[in-house]
Amino acid sequence: MTTSRLTARRLAFLLLLPGCHQWRPVTLAPSTSYRHDGNVRIQRGASTNSVGYASGAPGQMSDTPIVLHGAWVDGDTLFGFKADKTTRHAVAIADVRKAEERHFSGKRTTLLVVVGGAAIFAGLVALVAATAAPSFGY
């Protein structure tokens, strides 16, 4: 098998992985002892500027969702780590417009496997039908 085929298969596999997960809404409240070891995606209100590093460095103002890893609530603040997982970030719960947890989805995974398997089977049937067709020498 050629390298380009292996690369294409790996790429297809990586593109299908998000189909096995979904984001589910979660309610954040002060002092709820909330802790999530996976990913939490939050969207802040457009007029706030409360995201900052726990070390005191200024945060970045943006309305785009941010993903926190290993998030937890302490008092009225949501803490977590961004993609680099080395710098702790803090967001006031009052400034969180929407919060979602990432969970495994059995239904999506099953659908993905069934549809993917059917597509592969249909492709093989078409390939066999095309190669087995009689040639009349035209």
What tens digit of pLDDT does each residue of 24-76 get?
Answer: 888 887 766 777 777 889 998 754 454 544 444 455 455 688 889 888 888 88
- Cα distances (Å, whole numbers) of residue 104 to 1, 5, 67, 115: 32, 29, 16, 18
Checking 66-69 for CB contacts under 8 A at 24+ apart, the result is 66/41, 66/42, 67/39, 67/40, 67/41, 68/39, 68/40, 68/41, 68/42, 69/38, 69/39, 69/40
pLDDT at 105: 78
Strands (E), 57-95: 66-74, 77-81, 88-92
Specify the pLDDT at position 110. Answer: 84
Q: What are 5-26's pLDDT values in tens digits?
A: 777 777 666 666 666 777 888 8
The domain limits of the chain are 20-104
